Chain A
Amino acid sequence: MKAIHVDSITKEFDGVTAVDDLSFAVERGELFGLLGPNGAGKSTLINMLVTLLPPSSGTASVNGHDIRSERGAVRSSIGIVFQEPALDEELTGAENLAFHSRLYGQNRAERAERIDEVLALVGLSAERDDPVGTYSGGMKRRLEIARGLLHEPAVLFLDEPTVGLDVRTRRDTWEYIQRLNEEAGVSIVLTTHYIEEADHLCDRVAIVDDGDIVAMDSPSALKASLGGDVVALEFVSDDDPTALFDQLEGQSWSREYTASDDGVRVTVDDVDARIADLVRLADDTGIRISSVDLREPTLENVFLELTDRSAAGSDRNGAAGDQTVMASGDQTGTALESGDDRSSAVSTEDQP
């Protein structure tokens, strides 16, 4: 039995399709990420899976229970941390947990034991009797994660769990999430628009854009799909790269090369071994190199690549349209002055 099995689920709001005919499965014990821009349909998908929204068509099962016909069983087997905090700030941390425990039908002994356990897990034992209104943003998140785990769910949904948290708290939250997944064996579905979060945490990532899954694989496989690492060479003066290009043509490890403002960018296989060869070739042709910059493909490249492509493919307006314009502007490869040119570091011409 899969943790989650989604079967051509669709959700429309007044003619706007938020989630478009999705089908996928999440394995038991898996840490599964839904990565996508704002408004991609991630939260709508989650809300359907947790029975807060009925699908327009299609269905899904969570922990073996159908989200349409067995809502009670689905609700008993899931824990949720919502995108927006959903705590009663006038109650204390422990009281929020006790409230939750009563709704989930735990008896008194179970309740006391589990509350102590989850509070210790997220490091809030000392603050258990403080009103939640006095908690910091990170503490509230941790309390919500504790609450999501209180009734020992089979599947835990985390909707943007680290939005609005500072870097340290985000790292700590990641640690909790990983520990939960490893130690408690909880299957976790996490939505995020932070790419490094998906890369760092998830066993498998589905990239969602415009209500559709445009790619689904492990982060490393997704990165590998972009093909090769990129080395940017900056030249001392306006040296002509043509000679270097001639040399590169004959090399098996060189996949692709383009001229940039003040140098070249070369996509190579096995960059650690070949970077020296590349520099030597440039040297042989008399080019003087002022800097070498190595960029390994990131999930962000994959993300931009895939979400751009689908944005360009469909006729959309608004923010998504702007994104298309920006990205295609980058891809002409004219502006490389800033360090933040990773989207342009990947040529889109001959992707596998």
Chain B
Amino acid sequence: MKLVDPQAIYGLWLRDTKRFLRSPSRIVGSLAMPLLFLVFMGFGFQGAAIPGLPEDVDYLQYLVPGIVGFTMLFGASFAGLSILADQDVGFLKEILVAPVSRTSIVLGRIAGGSTTALVQALLILGLSIPLGFAPVSLLSLPIAAIFLVLLAITFVGFGIALASQFSDSEGFGLIVQFVIFPLFFLSGALYPLEGLPSSVRYLAYANPLTYGVDGLRGVLVGTSSFSVWLDLGALVVSSAAMVAIGAALFQRVEAV
């Protein structure tokens, strides 16, 4: 068994992609929550005096990168749930008994999960434009895509690592709610971190989503707390770490 088996990774990716494209309800459902946040918060807090918000930046402009980052968290829970769903229906056995290394399996699932998360994020970004979102330039979009890919890998890897510790999807579904929302609120997605007490702020600095949102904001809106290069570096590290952790924890997953 090769550690990295490109054909097996492609097969796993193809399966996830086909499943995603064949269930429109899944696509709509995955977009509903971020879109609600975007619409209600974007318009509700329009013009509100939010501490730390740069004066020349409209709140909707500020919020869109945060909500795009939020969809990545859903990608994480979705990737974790799909592994557990495979376990529930027995399909995981079919995968685990194949002559494919666990590392390749994790890479395949990350590839598939990241692709679907990326599509969701791009859809949110696209839908935000008619709502009034305006990227600083079209050239910023390819750079934003790099951030999105790194964010997707980080959080899909995280979802797989987390799911490997659960044996049923119900327990995972409950726990993941308690993980997603703190990550979301502690990422500067909704408001600048400068307003938070310093102890909480340090927690936010340990959150990869913070750098993803900040980097996207720097690229798309032109305002950021850190330098874009720092954001990029942090995300490269976090995505590599999450792939490694996901692969390590998945080694221990048993199908029976």
Contact = CB atoms under 8 A, between A and B. Distances in A.
Interface of A: 47, 50-53, 71-73, 75-76, 78, 80, 82, 84-91, 95, 98-100, 102-105, 147
Contacts of A72: 1, 99
A103 B100 contact: yes
Most buried by B among A51, A71, A90, A105: A105
B98 to A, nearest CB: 4
Interface string B94-134: 11111110000000000000000000000000000000000
B90 interface: yes
Contacts of A87: 91, 94
A84 B98 CA distance: 17
B255 A99 contact: no
Contact of B18 (A71, A95, A147): A95
Contact of B254 (A52, A73, A99): A52
A72 B101 CA distance: 8
Contacts of A89: 89
6 contacts: A52-B96, A85-B90, A87-B91, A99-B14, A102-B7, A103-B11
Given A72-B1, A99-B11, A53 B22 contact: no
B98 A103 contact: yes
Contacts of B93: 52, 80, 82, 86
Contacts of B89: 84-86, 89
A156 to B, nearest CB: 13
A47 B91 contact: no
Interface in B149-203: none
Contact of B90 (A50, A82, A103): A82
Given A86-B91, A105-B99, A53 B18 contact: no
A276 B23 CA distance: 71
Contacts of B5: 105
Interface residues of B, number: 26
Given A52-B97, A105-B7, 14 more contacts: A47-B256, A51-B97, A52-B254, A52-B255, A52-B256, A53-B254, A71-B1, A75-B99, A88-B91, A91-B19, A100-B94, A103-B8, A104-B99, A105-B8
Nearest to B19: A90
B19 A88 contact: yes
Interface of B: 1, 5, 7-8, 10-11, 14-15, 18-19, 22-23, 89-91, 93-100, 254-256
A76 B1 CA distance: 9
B99 A76 contact: yes
Contacts of B98: 75, 100, 103-104
Nearest to B10: A102
Contacts of B254: 52-53
Contacts of B99: 72-73, 75-76, 103-105
A71 B102 CA distance: 12
A52 B15 CA distance: 22
Contacts of B8: 102-103, 105
Contacts of A147: 94
Contact of B11 (A76, A82, A102): A102
A149 to B, nearest CB: 14
A86 B14 CA distance: 18
A252 B23 CA distance: 75
- A-B pairs, top 6 by smallest CB distance, nearest first, are A102-B11, A72-B1, A103-B98, A75-B99, A86-B90, A84-B90
A103 B8 CA distance: 5
Contacts of B255: 52
B91 A90 contact: no
A52 B95 CA distance: 11
A147 B98 CA distance: 12
A281 to B, nearest CB: 58
A103 B15 CA distance: 12
A212 to B, nearest CB: 21
Given A88-B15, A90-B19, A50 B97 contact: yes
Contacts of B15: 88, 91, 95, 99
